[in-house]
Amino acid sequence: MVAEETQPQAETYTIKIVPDRGGTTHSITLSAGMVKYGLVMLAVCALLFVGAFSYGVYSTMTARSDASEIEELREVNNIQQEQLLQLSKKAYNLQQQMEELTQMEQELRRQTGAPAADDNASDGSAGDQAAQSGQGGPYPIGILGPAENRIGMDGVRAVMRGNVNVQALLSAGGPVIAPDVQNVRAALDDLEQRVAARKASLEALKQTVREQNKLLAPGAALAGGYGPSVTTPSMWPTNGVVSSPYGLRWGGSDFHPGIDIANDMGTPIVATADGTVVVAGWNSGGYGNMVDIDHGNGILTRYGHAMQVVVVPGQHVRRGQVIAYMGSTGYSTGPHCHYEVRINGSPVNPVGYL
């Protein structure tokens, strides 16, 4: 009889739970496989926890670093924006000064009789801006490109300077556009062009004034000859500034039939065209010492308030010839030459004959 082989039993682990004050004892029996599986799962969970914790720490540090870098970039951007605003203000001030120079030149050209400057060239504008060259106002035309951008920049500058509040700006129309690098660069480029154009215009004005001074200098006409006969007034009778224009003045209470050109006592006064002296001497109607010159074809010029008259009635004079010296005789508040141009006895604006 063959003996039966004994089968090995599977290895197990028993966990007993014993109460501290007696009672039923509980036992939990686990196989070796289950224990190994549990240990493996515990190790895997530990690795996952360590990995998640490490990733969380890394993400936090990275986020803090990015936030710090963004804050630094924001501060740098704020500084650059402030510098851009300051540069924009300076560009605006330069444009204002250029506009003042333009107005001064225009006034000088009116006073000296020089031809008006080319608005398109002096503004350095083109296209739709050139079409607006006849408009007036304190802000140069054609600064920042499209019309809506110009309005926006003007509004921003006005608010920054405290000249207008936002509500007033909105009621005036136009968007509020903060200046950027492109706007400021366009403004500076335009300003550079205007400076070059203004320089050329002033050079031309200087040459014009120099030629006028040669004509108005005492004895210049006699020394160099008068040239061809000119019977239409076409020059200024003297040097100086226009102290009173033609037309209504003093709030509309007085009509001024000529222009007053003020300068120092004794400044030479010349004939503005060839002609014959018809009046030379005192006038009791307020003109003081006066000279009237008949140029023919119904054209007569009058020169009033002279200190001294150096021509006589009936004398033929040439354009540019000295006929009197500036004074303050008659109805006058200071030394000046009252100059009239009369057509068939009626006074007209002398500006068209300067």
Q: Can you spell out the DSSP letters for 316-352?
A: EE-TT-EEEEEB--SS-SSSEEEEEEEETTEEE-GGG
User: 150 versus 294: which is more confidently predicted?
Assistant: 294
Instruction: Give CA–CA dist 238/89, Å, rounded.
Output: 43
Token digits of residue 340: 């009239």
What mean pLDDT do residues 207-228 have? Answer: 59
Question: pLDDT band at 5, cuts 50/70/90?
Answer: low
What mean pLDDT do residues 80-95 have? Answer: 78
Spatial contact of 329 and 316, defined as CB atoms under 8 Å apart: no
Contacting residues for 205 by C-beta, under 8 A, at least 6 apart? 105, 108, 109, 112, 114, 117
Q: What is the pLDDT of residue 150?
A: 41
Q: What is the pLDDT of residue 252?
A: 67
Q: What is the pLDDT of residue 342?
A: 94
For 153-196, how does the pLDDT look when each residue is reduced to its tens digit (9 = 90+)? 455 445 444 444 444 444 443 344 566 677 677 777 777 888 88
Question: pLDDT band at 11, cuts 50/70/90?
Answer: confident
Question: pLDDT band at 241, cuts 50/70/90?
Answer: very high
Token digits of residue 334: 């200071």
For residue 293, pLDDT beyond 70: yes
Q: What is the pLDDT of residue 266?
A: 92
For residue 207, pLDDT beyond 70: yes
Contacting residues for 236 by C-beta, under 8 A, at least 6 apart? 112, 113, 212, 216, 261, 272, 354
Q: For the residues of 174-198, what is the DSSP string, one character each? A: S------HHHHHHHHHHHHHHHHHH
Which residue is it, tokens 């004005």?
205
Task: Note if the pTM is more than 0.75.
Answer: no
Largest CA distance in the chain: 180
Q: What is the pLDDT of residue 189?
A: 79
Q: What is the pLDDT of residue 195?
A: 83
Spatial contact of 181 and 84, defined as CB atoms under 8 Å apart: yes
For residue 148, pLDDT beyond 60: no
Q: What is the pLDDT of residue 228?
A: 65
Instruction: Give CA–CA dist 109/205, Å, rounded.
Output: 7
Q: What is the pLDDT of residue 282?
A: 94
* 3-state SS record for 110-128: HHHCCCCCCHHHHHCCCHH
Token digits of residue 227: 């040239």
Alpha helices in the chain (DSSP H): 32-112, 119-123, 147-161, 166-172, 181-216, 220-224
Question: pLDDT band at 297, cuts 50/70/90?
Answer: very high
For residue 124, pLDDT beyond 60: no
Q: What is the pLDDT of residue 163?
A: 46
- Other CB atoms within 10 A of residue 6 CB: 6
User: 230 versus 48: which is more confidently predicted?
Assistant: 48
Question: pLDDT band at 98, cuts 50/70/90?
Answer: confident
For residue 52, pLDDT beyond 80: yes
For 255-265, how does the pLDDT look when each residue is reduced to its tens digit (9 = 90+)? 888 999 999 99
What mean pLDDT do residues 123-136 have? Answer: 35
Q: What is the pLDDT of residue 214?
A: 66
Range of weakest confidence among 92-106, 235-249, 307-321: 92-106
